[in-house]
Amino acid sequence: MGSAASSPGRSPDEFDARDILNRIARSEEFRSAPRQQAFLRFVVDEALAGRGAEIKETLIATVVYGKRADYDPHVDSTVRVEASKLRGRLQRYYQAEGAEEPVRISIPKGRYEPSFEAVAGPEPLETQGLVPVPYLMAGTSLLLAVFAGWVWFGRSEPEMGELRLSRVTEAGSYSGGATGWPELDFVVYAGDRDGGVMNLWRQAAGSAAPVRLTRSRFSHEMPALSADGSFVVFRTSEGGGNLAWVPAAGGEPSLIKDTSGGLHPRLSPLGDVIAYWVPTDRETGEYGRVFLTSVKPSEGFGPVRLFGDFAHAATPIWAQSGTRIAVLGTWQSEVPEREFDAWVVELDRRHPVGTPIKTGLFPLLKEKGIYQRLTERMRIELGEWRDGWLYFTAPAGEVMDLYRIRLPEKAGRVEGSPQRITFGAGDVRNPRFTADSGLVFDRASVSYDLYSLKVPKPGEPASDLRRHTSETGLRLRPFLDKTATRGLWETRTPASDGQLLFFDLKSGVRRLLSPDDGRVYSHGVLSADGSRVAFRVSEPGTQPIYVRSVEGGPLQKICTNCGTPSDWTEDGRHIFYVTGGQPAIAGILEVATGKHRDLIHHPSYSLYGARSRLDGKGTGWVAVYADNSPRTRQIFLVPMREFVPGPQKDWIAATAGALWEQSPEWAEDGKTLYYVIRHDGNTCIMAKPLDGPAWEVHHFHSPRQTLMRSLRNRGADSLTVAGGRIYFSLDDRTSDIWRLSR
């Protein structure tokens, strides 16, 4: 098949390659390596499509690992390193679990075109029950292993067909939230094609040229198309966030009354009734409320709350009949794990009929290992409820994939096991059915890289946004020395919860600072001169702090149970840390002796992110931020004199504490404080001089680039000021819409 190699008399397309790849992915060797699964699926699919000779390092880098088009393999060795790891995993797999596989796949050294070797004496295909797979999907490198047959969009009878995967939007922009109906031949989506904020676009089936529906300085996103294709409901950032509607042919948008804060509107299959939800705070997404309303309340009704007895309800979707709605949520005020689930309620137009039914989805997903931790559960989203199947997206290692499970409308409880529909690189989200029972969805690639801005003049915005790294995998909490040449990351992978990676911005050197001993290394902070790193290590029952030279050498435990390091003093003699437990307290640790003590505490709030601006005698200021409520953060400046904090009455409130304000960092002259503010889903870097009002340094409007969120990983949006620049980590995303059809 193409240029793929195989043993004589047997071609790889005679085997069910999809089934073989799925067994490899489920194996102990590959289960925790989703990127190498994607690598293998990509090269196998390309070879079976006859493009094996065209598989190049740059192609793998951009498609599998989300690298930019200007990827330079001479600078970035990611693909070569991952290929070496893949060869090792394949070898170990065939020595153990895969010993009985009928075909062995390998990646010969020096190239990326796979080789297929049939094991001697396999049973005939008829007795094995294997069915040849028609590899007729252009571009399946991006989304592989769609279950073509007994898992094909609600069809329960075995049926093989020709599947086509096509890109709706072009690479290089951010597009998402496509919406359509099976009876319509077009979709509407949100995108930043013009390089500005998100607006709405209409794309006809088979057309390469979209039509722009809205033109606004406000962001337009989360579109929902009416069943008759006449209008689109969406969220606009106008007025702090509202729902609006616009004719599907284009025109002037109109706000929908009394929908302030509304998110993810979904239109009923039976008319102009919208289901949507409003979180108490968009940053946490907790304590949501679900509503129904008409697009034009003057002709229908205003907002009516569903699940009124629930402490939290979110992301409603309609059943195909239009008489039932499913939501995610819980009736308990503390949102405990045992009661969080997908719930279903029957409707008589706008009134609930009976009590909500708990579907049992989330206990089952946890039992099956699809999620374990709260941070994983928070990523699960409902997509569609059609033909008795509930479609949803959920974590699959580092990425998000599409699943489905039986959910009969009348029963209201899930049946059977969840079935994974997609296997591929990038995050799959927002699945929607469209014409010919096709499916559209978002596929996003995310890189986590170090960026910087030039320190601005007082009162002016920052300029000269620069990218300094090109990394794969999750990188958290960058911290640089005062020369801005040396830094470190905390790395996260499915196989390892935390390692520390040193980088040199001038030489390009990368090396691990933490040993590979199974422990979690996190919250690394560099000394001002860049010679030493302090970090926390996971040890049962304690939170020790270690110090190590960036050049290597032994690990030195300087505190057995302090907490999380947050900063060094300028002279490198002391480390500030934050204790575990509640309330969290800022402490100080003497590096040479290990002496430590709790230093700064608040009678009501936990304190985090301590950053110091002290002279050699311990006099000056320490900036901290407080969790002053479940949905807000506030920054305080604490006066210090010889390492003794002033009384609370002398603290300066650097921010008002009415929004999400955190991650303080001092300017190099100590006269200005930089920090991060989040509001209504947007992020901004602010500056606050000690003797003047705050101003906006840089605002991130587009979902294409956002500061890394600290909500799930505290301190991920931390700042470092050095060498006349402000350094931070960005989620750098590209997102396209793909269509899967017969």
Asked if the model's pLDDT at residue 599 lies above 60, the reply is yes
pLDDT: is 691 or 589 the higher one? 589
- Sequence-distant (6+) residues with CB within 8 A of 79 are 57, 60, 61, 65, 73, 112
Residue 443 or residue 133, greater confidence: 443
Q: Residue 49's pLDDT band (boundaries 50, 70, 90)?
A: low
Chain mean position to CA 555: 33
Domain count, the chain: 2
Q: According to the model, what pLDDT value does residue 381 have?
A: 94
Of 1, 205, 273, nearest in space to 115 by CA: 1
- The predicted model gives 432-455 an average pLDDT of 83
pLDDT score at 519: 86
In a domain, 358, yes or no: no
**Torsion angle of alpha carbons 330, 431, 399, 396, nearest 10°?**
60
Question: Which secondary-structure segment (H or E) carries 587?
Answer: strand 586-590
- pLDDT at 69 (0 to 100): 59
CA 173 to chain centroid: 17
Query: Residue 437: what pLDDT?
Result: 60
Give me the chain's average pLDDT, please.
83
Asked if residue 421 is part of any domain, the answer here is: no
Over residues 246-271, the mean pLDDT reads 92
Closest Cα to residue 497, out of 372, 402, 610, 366? 372
Query: How far apart, in whole angstroms, are the C-alpha atoms of residue 592 and residue 574?
Result: 8
What pLDDT does residue 472 have?
A: 65
Of residues 608, 633, 606, the one with CA closest to residue 623: 608
Please write the tens of the pLDDT for every residue from 614-645: 998 999 999 999 999 877 899 999 999 999 99
Q: Which of 128, 156, 182 is the last residue of a domain?
A: 128
The amino acid that residue 636 corresponds to is: F
Q: What is the pLDDT of residue 150?
A: 27
Closest CA to 685 of 471, 450, 501, 462: 462
Q: Any idea what DSSP says for residue 297?
A: G
Residue 140: predicted pLDDT: 34
Residue 494 placed within a domain: yes
Q: List residues bridging with 246 in a β-sheet.
A: 232
Supply the pTM of this predicted model: 0.70
212 has pLDDT over 70? yes
Counted residue by residue, the chain has a size of 742
DSSP helix/strand/coil, 437: helix
If one compares 272 and 479, the residue with the highest pLDDT of the two is 479
Q: Can you tell me the distance from the alpha carbon of 698 to that of 701, in angstroms, rounded to the nearest whole number?
A: 10
The answer to whether residue 29 is domain-embedded is: yes
Q: Which domain does 71 fall in, by range?
A: 12-128
Structural domain ending residue among the three candidates 87, 110, 128 = 128
Compute the average pLDDT of residues 353-375. Answer: 89
Q: Domain boundary at 96, 128, 160, which?
A: 128
- What's the CA gap between 599 and 270, in Å, rounded? 62
Q: Give the pLDDT mean for 148-154.
A: 33
CATH code (residue 606) = 2.120.10.30
Q: pLDDT band at 161, cuts 50/70/90? A: very low
Residue 317 has pLDDT above 70, yes or no: yes
Structure tokens at 502: 């040193």
Please check whether residue 283 lies inside any domain of the structure.
no
Nearby residues of 733 by Cβ (< 8 Å), 6 or more positions away? 174, 444, 445, 446, 447, 703, 704, 705, 706
pLDDT in tens, 71-109: 778 777 888 888 888 998 998 899 888 888 888 898 988
Q: Looking at the domain assignment, is residue 166 inside a domain?
A: no
Least confident range of 254-268, 284-298, 314-328? 284-298
Nearest to 719 by CA among 731, 701, 707: 707
pLDDT at residue 653, as a whole number: 95
